[in-house]
Structure 1
Amino acid sequence: MFCGDYVQGTIFPAPNFNPVMDAELLGGALQGFGCDKDLLIDILTQRCNTQRLLIAEAYLGAFGRDLVGDLKEKLSNHFKDVMVGLMYPPPSYDAHELWHAMKGAGTDENCLIDILASRTNREIFQMREAYYLQYSRDLQEDIYSETSGHFRDMLMSLVQGTREEGYADPATATQDAMVLWQACQQRTGQHKTLLQVMLCNKGCQQLGLVFQEFQNISGQDIVDAINECYEGYFRELLVAIVLCVRDKPAYFAYRLYSAIHDLGFHNKTVIRILISRSEIDLMSIRKRYKERYGKSLFHDIKNFASGHYEKALLAICAGDTDDY
């Protein structure tokens, strides 16, 4: 599988959709001292993002209040992060996550890697626009100021959104593979730049051929070679690009497993991946997760999350329930 292949999400447009009725139900759930969290989950996780935005418009019309503002006021902790996150259009959600990854002391490099290594040219263009509209700042400038070295150079290339699309040229795959092999052998600044140019700009289909030729030339998988030759976040970004080119759902399954098991349930990562992939390939991510790790994503979420937070995450993952 390469990055343009068919995949499937878990959230779809609800049939017989009535945004005014949903808005009224949400208004009832959010008014007063209590809050009907089950109703919030039932509505917001069972509508696609476009429908949620229409609900927000109807809510404003019916109550003169901002739905996102009311969710922030009435909810708390990670459950709030899930419910509010569902209300962002996808480019705005990416922009929101990138902003919070870079603001304040320290930078969440893994968030930058997850988003910029996996998005299409169109998605990157839209997130850059959303970032400027939401924060009146240039995404590229913020990445430049918050990162450094060859890691920064790679991110700056990715955020251009200029990856080739469509046609692959088998005739140049061997030549490109030789460039990769030399970059892994010599590791100079010049060779890191060659890695950057190739991995950030070549099309997915072309890179798939190049990785196959790399195996033929070196007798080694490109991921193993990168892990041996490089280190730090630069290495993590290189590996993420390769894995996303090969099988994007498998990459996110790996990231979810790591966030759940290696990091003691890293809530931000789990929430971000589930929301951002829910209408794209979350069903495929679930399948890869179970194939590779033996346990279902449902099983692991239930083991580490609880209450309405757990219920909301499971609802986003749903689609079918064979993996419960």
Structure 2
Amino acid sequence: MYSGDYDMIMDLKEVLSHHFKDVMVGLMYPFASYDAHELWHAMKGAGTEENCLIDILASRTNGDIFQMKEAYLLQYDSDLLQDISSETSGHFRDTLMNLAQGTRQEGYADPAMAAQDAMVLWEACQQKTGEHKNMLQMILCNRSYQQLWMVFQEFQNLSGQDIVDVVNECYDGYFQELLEAIVLCVRDKASYFAYRLYNAIHELGFHNKTIIRILIARSEIDLMNIRQRYKERYGKSLFHDIKHFASGHYERALLAICAGDAEDY
């Protein structure tokens, strides 16, 4: 981040307040720096915001993660993997750290291996031992998206069930939420974030941090697709629901991001 951007952020923090300030400050960060900012505050505040870690690490590409880790080190003089290790625990931690390696295969698909992986996933959901959990997360974190598409189809053929339903039946807690997020992002990231926005607006009573983070992070990537999925899935537009719950400059800023013209706000 350039020093001029940092100075502008400091100025905005001084003259603005509340959620409007969070939006305008967030828009000043380059994408990798914003992800780093969100991860840092998710782990270094009072308690860990696990859902922030899930949203970011389950959805980013290898390139995104590489840039994010560099930004994290530069901005906070701290190693992202070490912080994840110290602030989380168990198989949830192991899976996050695997994702944060940024070593997912790209553009590789092998039908024979997909059948084998589907069998491993099925056994992992039945046995639920530590070793099986490790195998499950290794497959979901390291196979390419193209490979996992075939794995999920083979899993359906093998078990007669959708893998999301089976994971939700067999596991719980943040580990289950992370596994589900990975699967949903493999299938369609726009649908995943539409679901997360709807949940943040309607189930969590307009959870501002989640809404701001998703809108800013996806604003120049796939937010138009997210808006489309939101309308298709929930019957009302994202614009409608934001207008219903937000107001004033904060509402206008969120709507500007959704419209793709936040730079003109």
TM-score of the two chains, using structure 2 as the length reference: 0.96
The whole-number CA distance in structure 2 between the counterparts of 1:162 and 1:124 is 9
Choose the corresponding residue for 1:93, options 27, 34, 50: 34
* Alpha-carbon offset, residue 282 of structure 1: 0.2
The whole-number CA distance in structure 2 between the counterparts of 1:73 and 1:319 is 26
Compute the RMSD of aligned alpha carbons.
1.5
Partner of residue 313, structure 1: 254
Partner of residue 112, structure 2: 171
* Alpha-carbon offset, residue 167 of structure 1: 1.9
Q: Give the direction of change, closer, same or farther, for the CA distance of 1:292–1:313 in structure 2 (3 Å limit).
A: same
Matched, 1:67 2:17: no
Partner of residue 259, structure 1: 200
Choose the corresponding residue for 1:276, options 212, 217, 220: 217
The whole-number CA distance in structure 2 between the counterparts of 1:120 and 1:185 is 30
CA deviation profile, 1:176-229 (whole Å, cap 9, x unmatched): 111111111111111000011100000000000000110011000000000000
Matched, 1:289 2:237: no
* Alpha-carbon offset, residue 99 of structure 1: 0.5
Indicate if the aligned counterparts of 2:243 and 2:251 stay in contact, CA closer than 8 A: yes
Partner of residue 48, structure 2: 107
Matched, 1:213 2:154: yes
Letter in 2 for 1:70: D
In structure 1, the residue corresponding to 2:45 is in which secondary structure?
coil
Choose the corresponding residue for 2:191, options 225, 240, 250: 250
The whole-number CA distance in structure 2 between the counterparts of 1:226 and 1:210 is 14
Larger Rg over CA atoms: 1
Trace 1:156-235 onto structure 2 (pairs within 5 A).
156-235=97-176
Structure 2 gaps, min length 5: none
Partner of residue 149, structure 1: 90
In structure 1, the residue corresponding to 2:123 is in which secondary structure?
helix
* Alpha-carbon offset, residue 171 of structure 1: 2.1
The whole-number CA distance in structure 2 between the counterparts of 1:105 and 1:144 is 17
The whole-number CA distance in structure 1 between the counterparts of 2:169 and 2:88 is 23
Matched, 1:132 2:65: no
Letter in 2 for 1:177: A
Matched, 1:82 2:23: yes
Letter in 1 for 2:118: A
How many percent identity over aligned positions? 78
Q: Give the direction of change, closer, same or farther, for the CA distance of 1:103–1:319 in structure 2 (3 Å limit).
A: closer
* Alpha-carbon offset, residue 66 of structure 1: 2.3
The number of residues matched between the two structures is 261
Indicate if the aligned counterparts of 2:219 and 2:260 stay in contact, CA closer than 8 A: no
Partner of residue 5, structure 1: none
The whole-number CA distance in structure 2 between the counterparts of 1:306 and 1:319 is 19
Runs of at least 4 residues of structure 1 off by over 4 A?
none
The whole-number CA distance in structure 1 between the counterparts of 2:98 and 2:113 is 22
The whole-number CA distance in structure 2 between the counterparts of 1:78 and 1:304 is 13
The whole-number CA distance in structure 1 between the counterparts of 2:73 and 2:44 is 15
* Alpha-carbon offset, residue 173 of structure 1: 1.1
Letter in 2 for 1:153: D
The whole-number CA distance in structure 1 between the counterparts of 2:117 and 2:136 is 10
The whole-number CA distance in structure 2 between the counterparts of 1:167 and 1:113 is 24
Q: Which has the higher contact order (CA 8 A, sep 6+)?
A: 1
Partner of residue 301, structure 1: 242
* Alpha-carbon offset, residue 293 of structure 1: 0.6
Structure 1 gaps, min length 5: 1-52
CA deviation profile, 1:105-129 (whole Å, cap 9, x unmatched): 3100000000000000010011111
Letter in 1 for 2:23: V
* Alpha-carbon offset, residue 319 of structure 1: 4.2
Matched, 1:116 2:116: no
* Alpha-carbon offset, residue 104 of structure 1: 3.1
Letter in 2 for 1:142: D
The whole-number CA distance in structure 1 between the counterparts of 2:143 and 2:132 is 16
CA deviation profile, 1:20-44 (whole Å, cap 9, x unmatched): xxxxxxxxxxxxxxxxxxxxxxxxx
